[in-house]
Structure formats: C-alpha cells, structure tokens
Amino acid sequence: MNRIIALAAAAALSLAAAPFATPALATTIIKAGHGTQTAHPTHIALQKFADIVAEKSKGDLKIEIYPDRQLGEEREMVEGLQLGTVDMAVVSTGPLVAFVPALGTVDLPFLFKSSEHAYKVLDGEVGQDLLAKFQDRGIVGLAWWENGWRSLTSKKEVKSPADLKGMKLRTMQNPVHIAAFKELGASPIPMVWGEVFTSLSQGVIDAQENPVTIVYSNSLWEVQKYMTLTRHVYGPHLVLFSQQVWDRLTPAQQTILKEALMEATTFQRQTSARLETEQLKLLADKGMIVEQVDITPFQEATANTASAFKNIDPAVVAKIKAAAN
C-alpha cells in the first residue's frame, strides 16, 4: 500500500512540474463561392489567394472554394452574404445592380477603352467609392477582379445592329445590359447562367453575350456557331465578404486577407488576359467562327443608354471617360 501511495505521489509531482500544454488554435475556415467553372481565371486566382492566406496566417485561416454555383446562383450568394450564410463570394455585376444601383455605371456599353483604363478607374476613387456602397447592404466590398470583355455569340452571323433585330438574346439580370440590347434591336431575355446552355441547345434563345473565358470554359461552341468580338462591355468580378463574418475576424486576420487580395488581384487579371488570348484560338480550333466587326454602329446605337437611369451620375461617367486620357 505504501508503495502505491508513493507512486501516486510521484506521478502527481511529475504532472505538477510539467509545463501546461498549449491547446491547438482552431483554424478559421472561410467558404468562398463563385459562379464560374474551375478553368476560369477567377477560380484559378481564388486558389492562389487561398495559398497566400494559408502562408501569411500560418494556417490560422483556410479558404475553401466552391465553384460553379455550388453555393447558389449569383444573386443567392449575394443574399447569403447579407444573411451571414455565405462568407465570401466573387460575382459579376449582373445581380449587384439590384443591391447597389450606382454600380450600373460600370456596365455602360463602350465605357472603357482598354483593360488598363478599367483598372485605373476601378482601383481608383470611382471604384473604391462604389465598393464602399456595399457597406449599407451588410457586405464588405474588397476588390475588383476581371470577368473579361463581353462579346456576342449567336447561331447566325452578326455584322451590324440590324442583324440583332428580334434576336432572342440572353443577358444577365442587369437592367443596363437589357436597355442597351433593346437599343440595338435585340429581344433581350434575362436569365440565370445555369439555364443558358440548355436554352441555347433547345432554341429558347438564339444568342448570348459573355467574355471569351466564359464561352470557352462552358463549351458554348457546341450550341453557338459564331462569336462576334464586339467587346461592348468590360465585365468586372467583384470580391465581396459578409459583413457579419468579417466583423468576427480579428484585425490581424482582416489585414492578411486584404494583403493577400492585393497579390491575387494582379495574378487574376494577368491570368484573365492570358487565357482570353489562348482560348480565342482554341474556340476557332473547336469550329467556332470568330469574327471582328466594326463597332462604330454599335457604339452609336447605345450612346444614350445612361440617360435612362437616374442612379447613373453623368459626372461620374465623365470622370471615367476622362481617365482614359
């Protein structure tokens, strides 16, 4: 009995002398959704972003990526940001005008002269002011990524606005885009992206408009014969975060995310430009007829699109156009 007591006492002393074990810190997981395929530059850049965040946070933060509308269609993801059920999302401007009407400004046709012009505006005062407007909607606007320059795809050849007359053309659920295509003579049909391929194959719609990377990564050459390089709208992707989730992060974690996004933004834009060039050639290899077109009549037909929208400030439009100089 004395031996048992002695052993117990020794064990107790040993435990008392041992240093307390430091509990493992729990990893904060951030679920990031987007609506594009895994071959799209936004998905590739999110992977890069996740790697940077993991390295900078030493594993404290982990980004889990959910592509191809796994967290819902784009509008559903934005609503999820407001509710705190979606942590982070990268979405096109299509559904966002309903939340921040002034965002329609960047959707005006032929507003930007080049990608460099767009970057200058979106990374500058105009773009940052637009991102700040999301705060009133319970969303943190963090960065402007690139979906690309939007062009037309169709079942028949399009050389001028006259060729669009009566054409059933899918657009995003974006009133600015819808108004522009009405001015061009088309019959725009707003439709969520998940329905587009089937609608094209079944003849519900005749045409659609999107950047090269979307056309290629979704195999639209199977249901569209022509791609007309109108490049009528520069299409951003916005990196958004739920305000509820953001506020639960520490200041240090928020800083890591912002710094990582700066690196990932440059990478995303470079990847977008590279893939557009590569995939334009691949579309032709797949049998799609890719054509240049004189955009002047398209510009003239849509010159007054902005005047129909009270939330588009002419002074801001003038500032954007002046930045091209």
CATH architecture for the domain at 27-322: 3-Layer(aba) Sandwich (3.40)
Q: Count of residues for the chain?
A: 325
30 HSE (CA, 13 A, CB side): 32
Q: What is the pTM (predicted TM-score) of this model?
A: 0.89
d(CA 195, CA 205): 10
**Where are the chain's structural domains?**
27-322
**Residue-averaged pLDDT of the chain:** 93
User: Vertex 48, ends 46 and 51: CA angle to 5°?
Assistant: 110
| 121-145: pLDDT as tens digits | 999 999 999 999 999 999 999 999 9
pLDDT tens, residue by residue, 224-269: 999 999 999 999 999 999 999 999 999 999 999 999 999 999 999 9
What percent of the chain has pLDDT above 70?
Answer: 92
Task: Using a pLDDT cut of 90, give the percent of the chain over it.
Answer: 91
Distance between CA 82 and CA 138 in Å, rounded?
5
b/e sequence 46-78, b meaning 16+ C-beta within 10 Å: bebbbebbbebbeebbebebbbbbebbbbbbbb
Residue 17, pLDDT score: 41
